[in-house]
Structure formats: C-alpha cells, structure tokens
Structure 1
Amino acid sequence: MSDSLKKRSQCSLTTDQTSTVTKEETSGPVKGQKTDKMSKKKRKLYTWDEIPHWQRDNEHILSGYVGETRSMFQCFLSLFYLHNESVNIYTHLLPGIAFLFVLCFDKFAVTQFETTTLIDYVMIDLFSLVSFTCLTLSSIFHCLKNHSRSVATFGNKLDYLGIVVLVVTSMVSIMYYGFFETPALFYLFSFITCTFGAACAVVSLKEGFRTREWRPYRAAMFVAFGLSAVLPIVTGIFYYGFSEIYLRIQVKWVLLGGIFYITGAVLYGVRFPEKYAPGKYDIWGHSHQLFHVLVVVAALCHLYGLIKSYNLVHLKMAIAQL
C-alpha cells in the first residue's frame, strides 16, 4: 500500500473513531437525569473519502474538509473554526480590506502635483478597486464553496475572473505611465493585454476547460499571460533605452510581481508541496494557499511600482515647466 493510501486510511479511521457516540447502557432514563440532546453533535470536518465527488478537487488534501452544508449560515459559521479553506479565506479577505482603505484614502496615498488629473486617480484607484474586488470575491468563494455544487461552480468562475481582471488592470495602469508620451504604444499593448486576458477568461469560465485534466493547461495560459508583460518592456528598451524604460515602467517591481504571479500559478498547477507529502499540508501550506499569498505580494509590488511611476511622470512634468 502506498504512503498516500495509508495516510488516507488512517485519516478516515481516526475520523470514524472520533465520530462514535457513546450510548446509554441503561434500559430507561434515570430519575432526575436530563437527556443530553447535544450528545450527537454534528461533525464539522470530513476526510477526502467522505465528501461528495463534486467537492473533490485536490486528492493530496486528505482531511479538514467542510462537508456540503446547503446553508449560507453554516458557511458563515465556518469562518470561526479551522479547516482546509481557512487560510485561503483570510489570506485574501484581509488584504482585500487593506486595498479598500487605499481606495478610500487615496488623498493620503497619492502625492499631489499641480499636473495631477482625474485620470491619475482613475488609474491608481481602479487598480485598488479591482484588487479589493478580486481578493474579496476569492475569499467569498472559498467560504461558500462547501454550500453546494452550483454555488461552488459559480464562485470558482468569479474567482478566476477576478484574477484575470486584476492582472489586466495591473499591466494597463502601469503602461499608462510607461508610455505616457507615446499613446499609440500604450493603446497597442493595452489591446494585447486585454486579448490575453480574454483568452484566460474563456478557459476559466467555459465548462469544457474547467475539468481537473485541463488544470495544467489553464495554469500554462496564466503563465503565458504573465510573460506577455515582457513585450512592452522589450519594446520600451528599443524606443527609450534601458535606463529610461526601467524607471518609466518600474521594471524591477513589474518583473518581481510577474515572478510572484507565475510562481503561484506553477505551484498551483503542479500541486506543490502536498503532492509529495499527502496529508501533511491539509490545513497549512498547500499549493492553493501559497498561490493566494503570492498573488497578494505581487499586487503589492505592482501598487508600489505604479505609485513610483506616477511620481516620476509628474516630477518630470514639473521640471519641464521650470
């Protein structure tokens, strides 16, 4: 028997043992004794072998599942105990709220210049809004995915769509400042970015591409999407020179964010590390959690680079007016 099957069997056995309820051995109730109606307390967590087939997505996660609830209230209650989706929920919920604060208090986050216009706030606030929306949708999906198959399917589509829109917004917003003086290049690369985003949206939303067998291909599409950011950088090098485009697009932060996005997608696609130690990373540290953390780090890298690009453009405009 393989290590994976042994761990799964042990996990199922442990769960069965803990779910056994001791019965009263007396033939009738003892005088003065109250019947304990809560003795058969409903279990909260289940193993891979006990959950419905529609809930089975990662065969290397053996335990810690919230069973099918068909109750929004029960899904809400799952926020207050630990299970294998808890980290997925909070690693996007809390950063999402942080991005909302950036959006609401943009006057403090964005340096004011005489040349600052509404479009500047649109670019920065749009990214903050999309980041908040993406991360919040993701946390809601991971909270409600145990409700039913239909809710899980719909929520998963929104989860992927949010990631696509976040990446598109990230690239378009910073290219606006990178090609501030050459609008034609900005429109060209924005079109290319939106095209890749649409392709990723199709493979994420269309049922034929949403099977477990297509997961590596979906991940590959997202990797290609991330790599498409190299194209405007290379073009900018030829057009402006390396030193200039490095500052205009904040290449360091864009590439760093892209590396985090791509690394997260690859880890999720290959199911690392739980694939090599089934059952060990059920609650903490499995690939989807790592993906979530890396997406947040990538978004923060981009926000920092975006604000630096904004500052650079307006500083140059201020110097030119002297």
Structure 2
Amino acid sequence: MVSQNIRRRSITSTSSTVTTVQVEKDGAKSSYSYIKRGVQLVTWEHLPDWQKDNEHILSGYVKETNSIKACLHSLLFIHNESVNIFSHLVPAFCFMTTIIFDKYVVERYPTTTLKDYLMLDLFLFGAFTCLMMSSAFHCLKAHSPYVSSFGNKLDYLGIVVLIVSSMSSILYYGFYDNSFLYFTFSAITFTFGLSCAVVSLGERFRAREWRPYRAAMFVAFGLSALLPIFAGFLYYGVQETTIRVQLKWVVLEGVFYIFGALLYGVRFPERLKPGMFDIWGHSHQLFHILVVVAALCHLRGLLGSYTIVHTRLSSLTQ
C-alpha cells in the first residue's frame, strides 16, 4: 500500500501568495510551489517536455505561461532564470548608455573623427544587441514552445552580431594604415557571420542532424579571428601586431568566452550536486557573467588600440 503525506505551507506578501506543496510517497519527496497572478513555479518533474533542458536544475522553473504579461511579471520575483536575465539586461543598458554619451566617456584626440565613434559604437551596439536578445529570450522562454524557439534563434543571432561587431572594430585599428587587409578580413568576417545567421534562423538547420554542422560553423567563425592576427604577424611583426590589437586583452577575452562555454557545456557545477545551484550559481549563469567579462576585455583592448593609433597619428601632425 502506497503511503502519501501532503503538506501545504502558504506565505503571503504584499505582492503575491506563494504556496509550497510537498508530496511524500514511500519515503521519496518532491515539491513544487506556485505564485498567483498567473505565474507558476514548478520543479523539473512538473515541466512539459519542451521546457526540459538541464536535468541538474531541479526547481525554480517558471511553467508555461502563454502570456507576455505573466513572463514580464516574473521579473519581479526570484526564479532560476532571474540571474540569466539581469546579468545581461543591466550590462546591456550600460553599453547603450555608453553609446549615447560616447563623446563624453571616450578621450578625444586631435585626429579623432566621426568614424572613430562609429567604430567604437559598432562594438557597443553589438554587445547591447547580444545581451538584450539573450535577456529577452530568458525572460520570455516560458511563454510557449513557439516563442521559446523563436527567442532561441534570436539569442544565437545576437551572438553572431557580437562576434562580427567585435572583430570589425578591432580590425579597423589593427589595420588602420592598410585598407586592403582591413577590407579583406572584414569581408571574411561578414561572410562567416552571414552563414552563421542563416543556420541560426533557418528552421531546416535546427534539426538534430544539423547540430554538428551548426557547432562546426560557429567554431570556424571563432577561429577565423586567428587569420588577421597571423597576417599581422607576417606583415608588421609579432611585437607591433600585439601592440596594435592589444593582443593580451583579445586573448583574455577568448579565454573567458571559451571557459564560460566549457562550463555551460559540461553543466558545472550543478551536475556535482543537483538542486544546490538551482537559483544561484549554475553553469548558464556563470556563462552569462563570463560573456560580460569577455566583452569588457574586448572594450578595454579596443579603447587601447584607439589610443595607440591616435597617439601615433597626433605625433605625426605636430
């Protein structure tokens, strides 16, 4: 005979009522909670199949809402996507604010032109686009299978935009005195970017059998950043290229991106103790934070390249 004990505990706050239900069957416990006003938090076993992605995250899920309003309401309380949302939403607005006030936050040299601001803003806009699309996806992914799938496509597209804008901006200063190399590698970057955008948005390429090809495309896109560096080594020499593109910051940027992706891929640390990192500290959150750190490394390197180029140009005009 199956023994079953049910315990119910309600906590009322100024904004909502949270009810926690614990069910015990033959010594095994499971629980779920829900918040009224149309937003329900559930555990892994109560999710529809389309929402299941990481079996090591056991609780704190916003169940399918079919409501934009309910998804937006989830911004007002803590669940297992909260850190994913705000870790990209807040930096996105910081990048956008920098675009608006770029003439006040970027040091101006006698040789600085409108094109410099456009190239700096190109990266800032790419970072804003990537982070905002990611934040929107994590906020709205509980809406429905269609919205989640579409948001996931835009999330990948944001990554493409960030890579293209990052590479194009640093190439501009790395090859500021060689238009041929700049336009050649910019064309390669845009070609890879367009290809990755197609496989990200095309429904046909999202099938399971296309997964290895999608992954290979993004890996090739990332590795294409090595081409202009090697070209710079041959044309300018290692030391000069290192200075021009602020290579230490570019390398550090790559380390953070790769380390974050590795954590996300192996589901660390939540795979070590499922349930412990449901709300704080799971791999996707760490990945998001490292993406922001990597973007800041690129910004630091880009501003360094801008400073070096215009310091040299200004000295020539004196």
TM-score with structure 2 setting the length: 0.84
Write the letter of the residue equivalent to 1:108: Y
Match of 2:126 among 103, 125, 130: 130
Percent identity, aligned pairs only? 60
Structure 2 match to 1:59: 55
Q: Contact 2:41–2:61 (CA<8 Å) still a contact in 1?
A: yes
Q: Does 1:178 align with 2:174?
A: yes
Q: Deviations over 1:201-244 (max 9, x none)?
A: 23322334435786676455434322221221111011101111
Return the index of the structure with the highest Cα Rg: 1
Equivalent residue in structure 2 for 1:231, among 207, 227, 232? 227
Distance 1:41 1:185, change over 3 A: closer
Q: Which has the higher contact order (CA 8 A, sep 6+)?
A: 1
Q: Give the Cα–Cα distance (whole angstroms) in 1 for the partners of residues 163 and 70 of structure 2.
A: 33
**Cα distance in structure 2, aligned partners of 1:250 and 1:122:** 20
- Structure 1's 217 and 295: CA in aligned 2 closer, same or farther, altered over 3 A? farther
Equivalent pair of 1:127/1:170 in contact (CA under 8 Å): yes
Whole-angstrom CA distance in 1 between matches of 2:54 and 2:131: 22
- Secondary structure of 1:61's counterpart equals coil
Give the corresponding residue for 2:268.
Answer: 272
Aligned match of 1:15: 31
The aligned length equals 293
Listed as ranges, the matches of 1:168-247 within 5 Å are: 168-210=164-206, 218-219=214-215, 221-247=217-243
* Higher alpha-carbon deviation: 43-52 or 298-307: 43-52
Tell whether 2:144 aligns with 1:148.
Answer: yes
Residues 141-150 or 273-282, more deviating: 273-282
Which of 67, 71, 87 is equivalent to 1:71? Answer: 67
Deviates more, 1:305-314 or 1:223-232: 223-232
Distance 1:56 1:290, change over 3 A: same
Give 1:30's aligned residue: none
Q: Which runs of 5+ in 2 are unaligned?
A: 1-24
Q: 1:304 maps to what in 2? A: 300
Distance in 2 of aligned mates of 1:207 and 1:293: 29
Shift in alpha-carbon separation, 1:75–1:148, aligned structure 2, 3 A: same
The answer to whether the aligner puts 1:106 opposite 2:122 as a matched pair is no
Question: Residues of 1 paired with 2:227 and 2:234: CA distance?
Answer: 11
Does structure 2 conserve the Cα–Cα contact (< 8 Å) formed by 1:48 and 1:65?
yes
Deviates more, 1:126-135 or 1:80-89: 126-135
Give the whole-Å Cα distance in 2 for the aligned partners of 1:193 and 1:104: 26
CA distance in 2, matches of 1:41, 1:109: 43
Using the TM superposition, give the Cα deviation of residue 290 of structure 1 relative to its aligned residue in structure 2, in angstroms. Answer: 1.6
Contact 2:42 2:61 in 1 (8 A): yes
Which residue in 2 is equivalent to 1:115? Answer: 111
Query: Do the aligned partners of 2:38 and 2:70 also contact (CA within 8 Å) in 1?
Result: no
Give, in whole Å, the separation in 2 of the partners of 1:270 and 1:205. 25
SS state at 2:30 partner: helix
- Contact map agreement 1:69 1:147 (CA 8 A) in 2: yes
- Distance verdict in 2 for CA 1:74–1:213, change over 3 Å: farther
Write 1 or 2 for the structure with the bigger share of strand. Answer: 2
